[in-house]
Structure 1
Amino acid sequence: GKEYEVQITEKSNRGDGIARVQGFVIFVANGEVGQKVKIKITSIGARFAKAEIVT
């Protein structure tokens, strides 16, 4: 998947971090609000994508 540098701005009710790239919602596994992280997209849906943090 593609990689992006993002800021986690919210937490989902499932505990994932939420970031946005050009308005598109990305759920980031284990993301914490306020973190600036590099992420890798793992799956893309019609309205959101899922990603994991790249270390």
Structure 2
Amino acid sequence: MFREESRSVPVEEGEVYDVTIQDLARQGDGIARIEGFVIFVPGTKVGDEVRIKVERVLPKFAFGSVVE
């Protein structure tokens, strides 16, 4: 049932997702998770429920921005 982590990136660049910010990164960016996959979202704080657009996907994490 478990896929190999290196292959299971559950988000796509340019796609929009509804997420809840769960943690803060050291740099102060909010951290959301989709299927355990980390997405850094600048300008958010823990508890925010936001719609994000994924801007850049890397093997272990992604970067997103809040969309209205």
Long gaps (5+) in structure 2: 1-13
Q: Which runs of 4+ in 1 moved over 6 A?
A: none
Q: TM-score, normalised by structure 1?
A: 0.96
Provide the residue aligned with 1:5 in structure 2.
18
Provide the residue aligned with 1:50 in structure 2.
63
RMSD over aligned CA atoms reads 0.5
Alignment size in residue pairs: 55
Q: Give the number of the structure whose residues are more often strand, by fraction.
A: 1
Distance 1:4 1:11 in 2: 19
State how 1:32-51 maps to structure 2 within 5 Å: 32-51=45-64
Larger radius of gyration: 2
Counting aligned pairs with the same residue, the percent is: 44
Provide the residue aligned with 2:27 in structure 1.
14
